[in-house]
Every structure is written in structure tokens, then in C-alpha cells.
Amino acid sequence: MQVIYTPAAIFCLIAVVLSLLTGIVLLTFSPHTTDNKANYYLGAAFLCFGVTFTVIYLIYTRLILFFPHLYRLGHLFWLLHIILSYLYVRTSVKQQPLKWTDLVHLLPVLLYLVDYSPFIFSSTANKVQHIKADLDSLDLAISFRQSWLFPANFHVPARTMVAAFYWILQIRILRGIDKTVIQQNPIWFRWQYIYNLLQLLLFGPTVISIVTGQSSVWSTTIPPAMGVLLSTITLYLYPQILYGVPSSPPAPAPSPPPAPSPPASIRPKPSLDEAFICQLSGSLDKLMKENRPFLNSNYSLKELAIDLNIPTHQASAFINQATGKNFNDYLNHKRIEYCLDFIKEGKAENLNMNGISQQCGFNNRNTFANAFKKFTGKLPSEYLTGSESNSLP
């Protein structure tokens, strides 16, 4: 067998090396925190692409005859690359953890595995025979003639449709971000837009080649390799992302104390839609009444965002606009409300200040006393010894 090193094969080899290297860097050097989980998806996506184009490189050079069991597995990892790229964008922006319903994203992978299971589990001799037939003309390699359930020339168009579908989902996620947040985090969003723009090469040229009837192994492999190759190169130009920037947009730097509110006629409009605020207010009230998360002293803004199924930056803006308070003040207000009811029901009679503060979600009695004074005008001890009935304003 003659090994053939064409420019396309060399280009694929370069894409393989950079993809695998970048995937290892992302998985190794990203800090092991929840905030950086998105980088793990991106790293896994690059590794899957590296495996995919390892198989394509072997096909271009005819070395696949030495590794027949890898034949047709490249398509499987290509599908995984598409899904992981979507999870990267979704996790980066929404900080949405995986749920069991996310198993639906594996349907294209499972469908391909079922379709190609007879070939995957066939003998080495059978695979070599099919590979030799496909290598007579490399364009036969993209016809997937060994398919069990579907006709030839099904899987490349299907993969292209899957890639286009997930790309549209990614763009919709990015378009849903407030412009003010984008302005506060320009570098992070610049990389997001570059990454998604380059992902057009995963399916755009293939769509054109299929529509024009010029589909070939070159048109379906080299443009995607170019897209991922450029993605890896540009990623090294953004080391703060490569080496573990938090997956969600970093919070803006603390601003100076706000100036007095302008008259209503010139007051700027809120950044969130009123209908959106109204809808979330109902969800927030239900969450606070039924689950009482404020009784957890470590309850965070990120956890609230997860409970409401919105990005963290939107959760912060929502609390500010809907309640007129920042997140900490809002939680402490809820805790003091609960504390007043707790006291009125006689549940605090046998507890000291530390015990009451812990029952109401505070870390220590000093924080409890300060919050109590802020929202009732009295210290807890003054309230407990007072004769009048008190309530929060």
C-alpha cells in the first residue's frame, strides 16, 4: 500500500495536533471550579474534533488500512463535537447545569450508532474490504454506503443539518444577552462571536456543495478543519479564556456610590422588559414561599439564577429592578421578615441571639443585628423587650 501525503492530509494533521493540544490545555489548566465548567465542554469539543480529523487524516493518507476499526468512528466524534460546542456556549452564557432532559442531545449520536453498529462490530476483514473499495475514490468515503437503516449519502447532509440547528441555538443564546453586559465584558464576548462565526465553516461550505451538486470529500472536510484550526489559533490570542476565565461573563468592577435619582421624566428605562420582570416576580415569590432558600446562609446569586433558570447577570438586574434592593439586602429583608414571624410565634423564647440568627439564615449575630436594625429600626434585643407589635415597613 502506498501512503499518500497530499496538502489536504498535511492540513488535517495540523488541525489534529492543534485541536488535541488545545483540548488538553483547556481540560488541564482551567481551574477546577463550577464557574469554569464551560471550558471543560470546549476542551472536550476540541478533543472530539481532534479524533475526528485523525480518522480523516488516516483516510487521506490511506493509513486507515492499518487501523480499520477506526473507520466510520470519525463521524461519531464529529457529532459529539457539535453537541459539546453548543453546551459550551449555553453554559458560558446561562450557567445552566446539565439535566436528565439534556440526554435528548445524544439522539443524533445514538441514531448513528444504531445505524452503523453492524459495520462497527463486523470483522476486520470485512472492514478492510469496504475501506479498499472506498479508497478507490475518496469521494465514496463520504457516501456512507455501509449504512444499515438509511440510503447512501444520508449521513453527511444529516450531520450538516444538525450542525446548522445547534449553531442557530447558539446564536439565539448570544442574542439574548443585554447590551450593557456585552459592553462591560468586551473581550469575553469578542471571543464568543469569533468562535461562533468560525463555526459556520462546519456546515456552510458543505451546504453549498450539496446544493450545487459539487459535494466531495475535500469540500466536506477542509473548510471545517479550517474553522476549528482558526478557532484554536484565536483562542491562544485570548489567554484569559484559554487558561480559565469564569464561564459566565465576569461581573463589572464596583461602581462609585450612585448619584441621587433623577426626576421620573428623565430617569433611564430599566434594562429588563417589564413583562419579563412581572413573569419572574411570580416565580421568585413562589420560590421564596415554598423553598425559603434565604434560610441557607450560603445561598448565592448564582444559585438564585439556577433556581429561576436565567443567567446570573439577569438575576442581579431583576432583583435590583423588581425590589429596589441589591441581592444581599433582598435576602436579609426576607430573613428579617421570617425572623419577625418566628418571634411572634413564640419559637424564639428558648434561644439566644446566636440561635435566632442561625434559625433565620444569618452567619453570625453581628450581621443579624445590623440587618435587624436596618429593616426594623431596632436592635433584636430592643425588639424582644418591646411591648408593641412590630412589622417590617
* Final residue belonging to a domain, choices 200, 224, 242: 242
Whether 31 and 161 map to the same domain: the answer is yes
Work out the angle at residue 67's Cα, subtended by the Cα atoms of residues 18 and 111, and round it to the nearest 5 degrees. Answer: 80
- Which residue range(s) make up the domain with 208? 7-242
The pLDDT value recorded for residue 31 is 53
Would you say residue 296 lies in a domain? yes
Whether 183 and 128 map to the same domain: the answer is yes
The pLDDT value recorded for residue 33 is 46
Burial label, 60 (beta-carbon count in 10 A; 0-12, 13-18, 19+): buried
The pLDDT value recorded for residue 322 is 86
Q: Specify the pTM.
A: 0.63
CATH number, domain with residue 175? 1.20.1070
Would you say residue 256 lies in a domain? no
The pLDDT value recorded for residue 128 is 95
Would you say residue 361 lies in a domain? yes
Q: Which of 163, 194, 184 is nearest to 83 (CA)?
A: 163
Would you say residue 351 lies in a domain? yes
Would you say residue 269 lies in a domain? no
* Total domain count, the chain: 2
Whether 161 and 295 map to the same domain: the answer is no
Would you say residue 254 lies in a domain? no
Rg, the chain, Cα only: 28
Whether 238 and 326 map to the same domain: the answer is no
Whether 233 and 295 map to the same domain: the answer is no
The pLDDT value recorded for residue 130 is 94
Residue 297 near residue 362 (C-beta atoms within 8 A) = yes
Would you say residue 255 lies in a domain? no
Cell of 391: 412589622
The pLDDT value recorded for residue 184 is 63
The pLDDT value recorded for residue 387 is 41
For the chain (393 residues), the mean pLDDT of every run of 10, in chain order, is 82 95 86 62 95 96 94 96 94 82 95 95 95 89 91 94 96 81 74 91 93 89 93 85 52 47 42 76 89 90 87 83 88 91 84 85 84 87 65 46
Centre a 10 Å sphere on the Cβ of residue 90 and count the other Cβ atoms it contains. 19
Whether 23 and 122 map to the same domain: the answer is yes
Whether 178 and 101 map to the same domain: the answer is yes
Whether 87 and 181 map to the same domain: the answer is yes
CATH number, domain with residue 299? 1.10.10.60
Would you say residue 268 lies in a domain? no
Whether 26 and 148 map to the same domain: the answer is yes
* Final residue belonging to a domain, choices 225, 242, 259: 242
